[in-house]
Structure 1
Amino acid sequence: MDLPLKAIRVLDLSRLLPGAYASQMLADFGADVIRVEEPASGDYTRTVPPYGPDNISLYFLAINRNKRSIALNLKSERGRAIFLRLVQDADIILESFRPGVMERLGLGYERLKQEKRNLIYCAITGYGQNGPYQQRAGHDLNYAGYAGLLHYQRDSSGKPLMPATQFGDLAGGSYMAIMGILTALVGRAANGEGRFVDVAMNEGVMSLMPLLMAAYLNTGKLPIPGHSSLDGGLPCYNIYETKDGEHITLAALEPKFWHTFCTRIGHLELLPFHSPVGRGEREQAMEVLSSIFKTRTRDEWLSEFSDVDACVGPVYTPEEALRDPQIQARKLILDNDGYKALTSLPHILGIEVEQRYSPPTLGEHTNVILREAGYSGEELQQLRGEGVIE
């Protein structure tokens, strides 16, 4: 079966994680993704440790398979002319510069539309294309802070916690870009029109909190961090330490699961504490549950609940998570020429994600791509001599 995005070409000018992860997903599902990189330096992740096979950054390896690379100097007039020619055969432009950078190069959306009327142009920025913060520098942690997420991630002393993964880059940037691009592609198939997709990572982080924001917007009140129903406020939906110092997740939100849980542990007196009203009741129930869970090891508890639906699960290390039989059965790990990485999701029936070719070296496909665009060998030699390409 042909990959669903086989007929789509992407020119990816982005740097670092958000754009690269998004374009890898497009590439894994068949798109011809061409990374347009700066000569000599290329994408910054090429030099970020730790290093894997052939001394290549594992960060770069993780998010750049199935792509081609052209090293092109967009600061030169001839480099920009080459890019404009490439745009004529492209479907999607993906970039992550601050607003206005592409316009100053003469390569903004309005200019590129002259080359390709139905072009889809996706810009990933920290704060969006307008507003007082549009030119402000930032990284993942900043976006999580601005969005209000860190306010609800706190340790036992009340201090905001560093996120364990890159919510802004991945959820706010990569996945928002994919949703916008694919939505625009569907629209283009229906009406032939291109679109500008404006992805702001801080907004993407905020979109992860629809329940909290709806509560505030409609009542003017916010739950206390660690005390709302889904972040530690319920005994039936919490994390508990076990006898061996490991942890168990209990997520028996529905009464039927709570009843099954209380029955299995032999403590039916806890049934009324499914949703305690008073703070004292909440703390009392959690203290009882904490004592109960410390009577057995994590794996003993997992064995105890293996044959019933009570929404009890482990807190795994990443190593344990990757070894889990469910993950193994779902084939989430790709083995690519000596290094391993996660596949692109979701699973699509009949489509098997594989590495068709390795993450490219800087400018590895410059000659091939420009030959496809109609440049002669003599022209390529001249362009290379002028420092336009590498």
Structure 2
Amino acid sequence: MSLPLQGIRVLDLSRLLPGAYASQMLADYGADVIKVEEPRTGDYARTMPPTDQNGINLYFQAINRNKRSMTLNLKTESGRALFLRLVERADVVLESFRPGVMARLGLAYERLRAVRPELIYCAISGYGQDGPYSERAGHDLNYAGYAGLLHHLRDQEGRPMMPPTQFGDLVGGSYLAVIGILTALLGRQQTGEGRMVDVAMTEGLLSLLPLQIAAYLHTGKEPLPGRTSLTGDLPCYHIYETKDGQFLTLGALEPKFWHAFCTRIGHLELLPFHSPVGPDEREQALTILRNVFKTKTRDEWMAELGDLDSCVGPVYTLAEALNDPQMQARGVLFREAENAPPQLSTFPRLSDVPQTMRSKPPALGEHTSAILQEYGFQVEAIEQFRKEGVI
């Protein structure tokens, strides 16, 4: 079966999460992703804990399927020359070094573009390729703080919370990289020219706050954390605890959903509290709803309200989410073989594109010889590169 990105070759120089998850998405849709790694050490994620019985990191296995791996020492002149040979037949180069690293290696975008004008060059970094912070070290949590996201992510005591996932790496890095790469590839069909894609994870996190930013830009006042219409101000759009200590989500933003909900629970006096109200009325409505929801367990409420058009849902654990009938019906997990561990599918779904693991996450340098032979190198030359520490 022909996959949508079949024929697209990606040279992935990235390490750890953002680049690896991005290139796996491209690989799942058919791209030939070559993971170019440093000899002997490879991607740091390979051996970081937690590991399986073979010493391979569990997270590495989750984000590196359907790729090939070759080793290449870019710190050597021969290694850089080999990389330029690879670029001659590549469509995309993906890297996640600090800005300036590739230039110091003599492999900046301008150099690669001279070799292949059609090349899409995607660089993922914390703060972008320029600006005063461009070479500053950072991780996901730092980017979330700089972007203002943590200011709006607060616990019940009003303190900034640790994010439940790596928003900067995954959304600001992986997803924006895929969007940028695919957009540039589409543009290349019109112009025949490649582009550089500059992905700054901090900017990606800013893109998650369009409503708060719009309010600030138009009023000069930043919304209070947890007090906008969609972050906790409205009683009709809130999280409520149930009798058994579990939680439900209520998202009855439209009047028809709110009316259906209030009617079913027998509290029509709440109907006027659908729209933004004063603080006293808000607390009154919240108190009523908190007391109502604590009269039954989460599952009892779902049995009563689950099929009602009122936008009520459970707060699941991961185990519950993955075993929910909707998730099961949609096949969010798949197995490469009957006894193999399940894998998370790639989203979005494309018609006639099955979720498959065409190849397991590669061993370090597993495909080095095969790839170099594809470029015309003989076995003797490849062995010489190996002796010299080039591969």
Once the two structures are superposed, residues 332-382 of structure 1 have per-residue CA deviations (whole angstroms, 9 ceiling, x without a partner) of 112245222211110001111210000001000000000001111110111
Contact 1:18 1:169 in 2 (8 A): yes
Counterpart of 1:263 in structure 2 is 263
Q: 1:276 to 1:215 in 2, by over 3 A?
A: closer
**Structure-to-structure mapping, 1:224-243, within 5 angstroms:** 224-243=224-243
Q: In structure 2, list runs of 5 or more residues that go unmatched.
A: none
Return the alpha-carbon distance in structure 1 between the equivalents of residues 306 and 233 of structure 2: 26
Counterpart of 1:365 in structure 2 is 367
The answer on 1:10 being equivalent to 2:29 is no
Which region of structure 1 is more displaced relative to structure 2, 215-224 or 160-169?
215-224
Return the alpha-carbon distance in structure 2 between the equivalents of residues 307 and 63 of structure 1: 36
Paired residue type of 1:289: L
In the superposition, the TM-score normalised over structure 2's length comes to 0.98
Counterpart of 1:75 in structure 2 is 75
Paired residue type of 2:119: L
Return the alpha-carbon distance in structure 2 between the equivalents of residues 48 and 383 of structure 1: 28
Q: 1:53 to 1:188 in 2, by over 3 A?
A: farther
Counterpart of 1:129 in structure 2 is 129
Counterpart of 1:356 in structure 2 is 358
Percent of aligned positions with the same letter in both sequences? 67
Contact 1:169 1:201 in 2 (8 A): yes
Cα offset for 1:57? 1.0
In the superposition, the TM-score normalised over structure 1's length comes to 0.98
Paired residue type of 1:78: S
Counterpart of 1:339 in structure 2 is 341
3-state DSSP of counterpart to 1:292: helix
Return the alpha-carbon distance in structure 2 between the equivalents of residues 118 and 51 of structure 1: 39
Cα offset for 1:223? 1.6
Contact 1:29 1:353 in 2 (8 A): no
Which region of structure 1 is more displaced relative to structure 2, 217-226 or 247-256?
217-226
Return the alpha-carbon distance in structure 1 between the equivalents of residues 52 and 152 of structure 2: 36
3-state DSSP of counterpart to 1:346: coil
Cα offset for 1:306? 2.5
3-state DSSP of counterpart to 2:183: helix
Contact 1:154 1:161 in 2 (8 A): yes
Return the alpha-carbon distance in structure 2 between the equivalents of residues 224 and 206 of structure 1: 17
Q: CA RMSD in A?
A: 0.9
Counterpart of 1:379 in structure 2 is 381
3-state DSSP of counterpart to 1:286: helix
Return the alpha-carbon distance in structure 2 between the equivalents of residues 227 and 110 of structure 1: 47
**Structure-to-structure mapping, 1:1-390, within 5 angstroms:** 1-52=1-52, 54-336=54-336, 338-389=340-391
Once the two structures are superposed, residues 11-43 of structure 1 have per-residue CA deviations (whole angstroms, 9 ceiling, x without a partner) of 000010000000000000000000000011100
Cα offset for 1:117? 1.0
Return the alpha-carbon distance in structure 2 between the equivalents of residues 307 and 12 of structure 1: 46
Paired residue type of 2:241: E
Return the alpha-carbon distance in structure 2 between the equivalents of residues 275 and 44 of structure 1: 51
3-state DSSP of counterpart to 1:54: coil
3-state DSSP of counterpart to 2:33: strand
Cα offset for 1:53? 5.4
Return the alpha-carbon distance in structure 2 between the equivalents of residues 209 and 152 of structure 1: 9
Return the alpha-carbon distance in structure 1 between the equivalents of residues 323 and 196 of structure 2: 41
Return the alpha-carbon distance in structure 2 between the equivalents of residues 162 and 261 of structure 1: 33
Return the alpha-carbon distance in structure 2 between the equivalents of residues 13 and 276 of structure 1: 50
Paired residue type of 1:363: G
Contact 1:53 1:339 in 2 (8 A): no
Q: Segments of 4+ in structure 1 off by > 6 A? A: none
Return the alpha-carbon distance in structure 2 between the equivalents of residues 135 and 306 of structure 1: 50
Which region of structure 1 is more displaced relative to structure 2, 340-349 or 286-295?
340-349
Once the two structures are superposed, residues 128-160 of structure 1 have per-residue CA deviations (whole angstroms, 9 ceiling, x without a partner) of 011110010000000110000000111111100
Q: In structure 1, list runs of 5 or more residues that go unmatched.
A: none
Return the alpha-carbon distance in structure 1 between the equivalents of residues 384 and 219 of structure 2: 66
Q: 1:171 to 1:150 in 2, by over 3 A?
A: same
Paired residue type of 2:284: Q
Return the alpha-carbon distance in structure 2 between the equivalents of residues 185 and 231 of structure 1: 37
Cα offset for 1:109? 0.5
Return the alpha-carbon distance in structure 2 between the equivalents of residues 336 and 170 of structure 1: 24
Cα offset for 1:55? 3.1
